[in-house]
Structures are given as structure tokens and as C-alpha cells.
Amino acid sequence: MANKTMEEKNTSALSPSRRAWMQRGLILSGAAMLATGAAPRAMAAAADTAWPTGPIRLVVPFPPGGSVDTVARTLGPQLATQLGQPVIIENRPGASSVMGAQHVKQSKPDGYTILLNASLQVANPVLLTTATYDALNDFVPITEIGAQPQLVVVRADGPYKTMADLVDDARKRPRHVTWAIAAFGAAGHLACALVNVQAQVDMPIIPYKGGGPALMDVMGGHVSAQIEPMASAYPHVQAGKLRALAVTSAQRLASLPDVPTVAESGFPGFDMPSWYGLWAPAGTARAIVDKLQAETAKALKVPAVAEKLAGISFIPMGTSPEDFAKYSASELEKYRDLINKAHIKADA
């Protein structure tokens, strides 16, 4: 009992509400699939029993190197093995993931083009005039893959050792200390905005076309700091290129026990994870959606996949389509409230 598994340690980093969502999703993942009616399901299954018969394009709306891409490249090969067809990772960056999302929205709803994106998939229509899709109705939710904490990182050889150092410098030199973000509307962006509001500092937020390019500029000293998911930030911390000032989860991480939470660093109640999901174009057959959800949930339990994800404090979920739809709707309202409070203006 004294030695918790990595999954148990990682799960403890989630807020009570996120743990509840995960537990509820695991409970409902089987039951919810029985609630759609026998006759329609039987017809859909008969029509799609042959799927898949060719390669599946897993669209990542960011360039290689970021957290979304990392999750996709961890999950994709295992899905290919289970489905018996190639799963091709297709990076389509641009407009804070909008270009990739729009591409999937307009794709044929046959199960051969699906989207893997982070939480900004539901935040974008609130923030971006270019996001002309309806986050809840223009896509079929397949599953919430999981969630992970984010790290506040700075250049390893820079002057900042703590969040207090960063904030104090920002107060002394308004608009000189800057944030890099993976994309406008990403979880990191909302976290940076929340720090600015709570600390009452003026740290300009600079959007990039993905977490990888943003991290490179932090390492190069061109931008002061970044809040980025563990998947893409942690390897650079391990390599000694970045310094982690704080973690955005409610509790400290087993992998970084000496790194305080943002809440401990002067921001009580701060809890801002990044979560990831799979979506298909609206109109995709339920039989295909069910199969994708089941195979994703299965893949997340494969030891090699689970071990790699645990190494970045990723909490796998694999929830049902119904549960993911409900969670997405609740997150949309949460983001809308935060955007209003932080006075984040829509970016054209």
C-alpha cells in the first residue's frame, strides 16, 4: 500500500472534479454504448463491419514537437496494430488548430479522417473569428483520451528560479517579460492569462504555431516563459534546457516532487490541466465511432503506451462518446466564463 503505481500518483495530481470525470467515464464507457437502441445499431454495424479497409488519417492541427503531436505519435502506432491498417499522422498546423479542425469538419464522414486535438478545440469558437465551426455539433465526439498537467518553464540558465522571480520582474518591467503560447486559445494561453489577471502583471502573450516552436524560442531566450503541457515541456526539463518553475495541477507531481504547484506559488486554487480528445466529422456512422472509442480505450491500457504516457504524467481516460460530449459542453462554459473574466478578446 505504501508504493503507489505511477498511474495512481498521476491521478492524484488531478483536481477532485477531474478525478470524478475520469471515474465516471470509466464506469459509463460500457453502459453508455448500450443506450442508443438495438435496431439502429444493428443496421449501422451491418453497414460498417468492413471498416477499416484502408489507411486512417489522424489529423494533428499542430506541427511536430508539441504535446498534441506527442500524444498522437504515442497512440497512433498502437491503433494501427489493433485496427490492422496504417494510421498516418497528418500535421496540419495553422490558425491555432483551426485549419486542421476545419479540414476534418469538411472531410467525408467515413472514419478515415479523424482529429486529435486539445481543449482549445472547444475554446476556439469562443475566441477566434476564423473558427467558424460549432464545437458541439459539427463533429462527433469519439473519446476523451486523457489529461495532463502543464509546466511553467523558463530558460534553464536564465535569472528566474521561482514564480515570484518571474512575477516580480514583470512588475518592475511591464511588457518586457513575455509569455510564449502554443496557440491562441490553448490551455497554456488561458493559464498565462489567468496568471496575468491574478498577479496583476502586464506580460504580453505571444502566440506560436505549436508548442515546439514556442519552446525553442524560450530556450533561445527570445521569450521569457511558457506554460506548456508535460508531454512537450518535460523532455526539455529533463535535458537541462528548461527550468520548471511550477506545475499547474492541484498537487505536485511524482516525477517532479521538488517543483511547487502554481497554487503554492502565490495563486491559491489555481488548477489548469490540458486535456485531449478524438473527433470525427459530423455524420460518421455510430458503429465506426464505437469501434474507434473501444480501440482507443484498449490502446491506452497497453503497457508500452501506458508507460510512455505515465512518464509525462498523462492520465489516460478513454471515455464514452456520450460522456465526452457532456464534458466538452461543460468545459466550453468554463472557458467562456474564464475568457470573460480575463478580458481575452477574440483574435481575428
3-state secondary structure the chain: CCCCCHHHHHHHCCCHHHHHHHHHHHHHHHHHHHCCCHHHHHHHHHHCCCCCCCCEEEEECCCCCCHHHHHHHHHHHHHHHHHCCCEEEEECCCCCCHHHHHHHHCCCCCCCEEEEEECHHHHHHHHECCCCCCCCCCEEEEEEEEEECEEEEEECCCCCCCHHHHHHHHHHCCCCCCEEECCCCCHHHHHHHHHHHHHCCCCCEEECCCHHHHHHHHHCCCCCEEEEEHHHHHHHHHCCCEEEEEECCCCCECCECCCCECCCCCCCCCCCCEEEEEEEECCCCHHHHHHHHHHHHHHHCCHHHHHHHHCCCCEECCCCHHHHHHHHHHHHHHHHHHHHHHCCCCEC
| pLDDT tens-digit profile, the chain (348 residues) | 444 544 455 555 565 555 554 454 444 344 444 444 454 555 545 445 789 999 999 999 998 988 899 999 999 999 999 999 999 999 999 988 999 999 999 999 999 999 999 999 999 999 888 899 999 999 999 999 999 999 999 999 999 999 999 999 999 999 999 999 988 888 999 999 999 999 999 999 999 988 899 999 999 999 999 999 998 899 999 999 999 999 999 999 988 999 999 999 999 999 988 999 999 999 999 999 999 999 999 999 999 999 999 988 899 999 999 999 999 999 999 888 888 888 887 664
Q: Strand pairing of 274-281 and 56-60?
A: unpaired
**Residues with Cβ < 8 Å from 304, sequence gap 6 or more?**
78
In angstroms, the CA 14 to CA 272 distance is: 9
In angstroms, the CA 90 to CA 61 distance is: 8
- Evaluated on CA atoms 197, 201, 202, 205, the torsion sign reads negative
The count of C-alpha atoms lying within 13 angstroms of the C-alpha of 62, restricted to the half-sphere facing its C-beta, is: 30
In angstroms, the CA 12 to CA 10 distance is: 5
The residues facing 225 across adjacent strands are: 154, 179
Location of C-alpha cell 459542453: 329
As given in the structure block, the three cell numbers for residue 54 are: 484502408
Nearest CA-CA partner of 127 in 100, 151, 95: 95
For residue 261, report the phi and psi dihedrals to the nearest 5 degrees.
-80, 160
As given in the structure block, the three cell numbers for residue 182 are: 502554443
In angstroms, the CA 178 to CA 128 distance is: 22
